[in-house]
């Protein structure tokens, strides 16, 4: 028997390769579009599912210094990798957890008067004012101080004197739409919010916000999805590089005669003699079941042998079938097909599945082999 060593790739069936140098290029591209503003990074949700440790390191090496996570636990994890980074926790200050934030040098993005009072009180006990952001809601109606509560906070001298506010921030609801009335309203409201707290650095733009121009850049931008390859300008071609490459390995090929069906529910029927390949990747691996054929106006596809091949039938837990009849050369067990990557962009696949790139990335599974590219040392700054 052949004793050739197997690689994790051979044993896992599907492979997720994450291109850390593409992450760095994307971050540099965003940085170059941020004008004089500092470019930070949203790395919440385990860096949008791609792994906060390697991604955090790659971004730090590219020059990123300010990071945004959602949960204090995520902040603790990132702190373990980046001892000197500025790390904001977007969900605010969890009650009774100020000590945890201080131990891990996490900066809460405060969203209410109670949180502001607690952080100021903790700073007094701790012996110094600890840095934090104040997050003001300018119209998304999600997280942050309502304007009236923010104004009242500024008048609450005892609390304000206990805070070291290092960032004033707000979040856009419709940043992909430059002319949306809410985008313009948030721009103007944030300008007023800023004027009430002069001298404090301000931040409004996410990935798409960076492309809204200088009125939105302020002092710090907070891109997330564009770093990971999502299109920040959906009306235009995607300027970002693909970061994640998800490949499924062919487990078996077969010929299906006209009239026969493929997969659960017999939802796909062959109109002609069809060569099919079954890939070892399914919804357990993060390939949405909504990528089954017949669900979207444009048929979902994978990329194999230099061509796009339609997905046929239902995506199941461990596998999915594709039509390889029109490929110029035969494919065989062990060949792999790109499910997501430079040819099948995350925004396109997400649209087929009726979702967005953010959800697609953050729901990628954990069963496949996960390979991180070496950083291109020529690019290190
Ligand atoms: C997630 C998030 C971001 C990053 O948004 P993208 O659309 O991924 O660029 C920025 N700011 C806040 C407050 C967020 O929650």
**Nearest protein CA to atom 4 of ligand 1, as residue:** 224
Asked if the model's pLDDT at residue 380 lies above 70, the reply is no
Q: Which residues line ligand 1 (CB under 6 A)?
A: 42, 44, 68, 90, 171, 206-207, 222-226
**Are the CB atoms for 79 and 92 separated by under 8 Å?**
no
31/18 Cα distance (integer angstroms): 21
pLDDT-based confidence at 378, cuts 50/70/90? very low
State the distance from the centre of ligand 1 to the C-alpha of 200, rounded, in angstroms: 20
**Cβ count near 207 (within 10 Å):** 24
State the distance from the centre of ligand 1 to the C-alpha of 204, rounded, in angstroms: 10
Question: What are residue 189's phi and psi, to 5 degrees?
Answer: -65, -40
Q: How many Cα atoms are found within 13 Å in the side-chain-facing hemisphere of 163?
A: 27
Q: At what angle do helices 181-195 and 147-155 cross, to 10 degrees?
A: 0
Strand order in the sheet with 41-42: 38-39, 220-221, 202-203, 164-169, 131-135, 106-110, 86-89, 66-69, 41-42
Asked if the model's pLDDT at residue 373 lies above 60, the reply is yes
What ligand 1 atom has the least distance to the C-alpha of 109? 13
**Nearest protein CA to atom 15 of ligand 1, as residue:** 90
Query: Could you tell me which of 327, 320, 323 has the C-alpha nearest to residue 305?
Result: 327
Burial class (CB in 10 A: 0-12, 13-18, 19+), 333: exposed
Asked if the model's pLDDT at residue 240 lies above 70, the reply is yes
pLDDT digits (tens, 9 = 90+) for 298-328: 899 999 999 999 999 999 999 999 999 999 9
pLDDT of residue 295: 86
DSSP H or E stretch at residue 324: none
Query: Could you tell me which of 377, 360, 341, 353 has the C-alpha nearest to residue 18?
Result: 341
Read off the DSSP letter of residue 176.
Answer: T
> 20-228 adopts what CATH topology?
TIM Barrel (3.20.20)
Positions marked catalytic:
44, 264
Asked if the model's pLDDT at residue 2 lies above 50, the reply is no
Token pair of 307 as six digits: 């061509």
Asked if the model's pLDDT at residue 8 lies above 80, the reply is no
362/252 Cα distance (integer angstroms): 29
**Cβ count near 137 (within 10 Å):** 21
Question: What are residue 107's phi and psi, to 5 degrees?
Answer: -105, 115
Mean pLDDT, range 218-241, rounded to an integer: 97
159/98 Cα distance (integer angstroms): 15
State the distance from the centre of ligand 1 to the C-alpha of 198, rounded, in angstroms: 24
- How much is the pTM? 0.95
**Are the CB atoms for 280 and 246 separated by under 8 Å?**
no
Distances (CA, A) of 191 to 186, 195, 205, 248: 8, 6, 13, 49
374/332 Cα distance (integer angstroms): 29
115/100 Cα distance (integer angstroms): 14
78/57 Cα distance (integer angstroms): 9
Token pair of 68 as six digits: 């945004």
pLDDT of residue 297: 87
Buried-state track 244-268, b at ≥16 Cβ within 10 A, e below 16: bbbbbbbeebeebeeeeebbeeeeb
**Nearest protein CA to atom 6 of ligand 1, as residue:** 224
Query: Could you tell me which of 375, 365, 363, 366 has the C-alpha nearest to residue 54?
Result: 375
Read off the DSSP letter of residue 319.
Answer: -
pLDDT digits (tens, 9 = 90+) for 64-111: 999 999 999 999 999 999 999 999 999 999 999 999 999 999 999 999
244-372 has the same fold as 20-228 = no
State the distance from the centre of ligand 1 to the C-alpha of 69, rounded, in angstroms: 9
Asked if the model's pLDDT at residue 282 lies above 80, the reply is yes
> 244-372 adopts what CATH topology?
Lyase, Ornithine Decarboxylase; Chain A, domain 1 (2.40.37)
**Which of 207, 224, 358, when mutated, tests ligand 1's pocket best, judged by the most ligand atoms within 8 Å of its CB?**
224
pLDDT of residue 379: 44
- Domain extents in the chain: 20-228, 244-372
> Residue 134 forms beta bridges with which residues?
110, 168
């Amino acid at each position: 028997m052949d004793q050739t060593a197997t690689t994790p790739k051979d044993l896992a069936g599907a492979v997720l390769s994450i291109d850390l140098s593409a992450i760095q290029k994307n971050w540099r591209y965003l940085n170059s579009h941020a004008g004089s503003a500092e470019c930070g990074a949203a790395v919440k949700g385990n860096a949008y599912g791609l792994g906060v440790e390697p991604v955090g390191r790659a971004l730090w090496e590219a020059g990123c210094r300010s990071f945004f996570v959602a949960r204090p636990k995520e902040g603790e994890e990132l702190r373990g990798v980046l001892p000197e980074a500025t790390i904001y926790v977007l969900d605010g200050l969890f009650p009774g957890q100020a000590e945890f934030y201080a131990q891990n040098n996490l900066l809460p993005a405060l969203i209410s008067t109670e949180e502001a009072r607690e952080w100021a009180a903790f700073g007094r006990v701790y012996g110094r004012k600890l840095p934090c952001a104040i997050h003001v809601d300018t119209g998304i109606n999600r997280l942050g101080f309502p304007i009236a509560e923010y104004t009242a906070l500024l008048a609450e001298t005892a609390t304000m004197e206990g805070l070291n506010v290092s960032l004033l921030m707000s979040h856009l609801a419709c940043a992909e739409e430059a002319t949306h009335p809410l985008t313009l309203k948030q721009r103007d409201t944030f300008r007023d919010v800023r004027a009430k707290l002069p001298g404090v650095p301000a931040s409004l733009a996410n990935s798409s916000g960076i492309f809204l121009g200088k009125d939105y850049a302020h002092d710090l931008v907070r891109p997330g999805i564009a770093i990971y390859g999502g299109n920040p300008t959906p009306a235009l071609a995607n300027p970002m590089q693909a970061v994640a490459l998800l490949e499924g390995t062919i487990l078996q090929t077969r010929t299906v005669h006209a009239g026969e069906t493929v997969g659960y529910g017999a939802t796909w029927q062959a109109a002609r003699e069809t060569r099919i390949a079954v890939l070892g990747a399914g919804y357990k691996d993060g390939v949405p079941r909504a990528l089954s054929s017949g669900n979207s106006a444009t048929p979902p596809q994978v990329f194999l042998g230099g061509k796009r091949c339609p997905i046929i039938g239902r995506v199941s837990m461990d596998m999915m079938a594709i039509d390889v009849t029109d490929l110029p050369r035969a494919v065989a067990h062990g060949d792999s097909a790109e499910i997501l990557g430079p040819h099948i962009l995350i925004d396109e696949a997400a649209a087929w599945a009726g979702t967005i790139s953010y959800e697609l990335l953050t729901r990628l599974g954990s069963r496949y082999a996960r390979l991180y590219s070496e950083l291109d040392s020529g690019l290190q700054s």
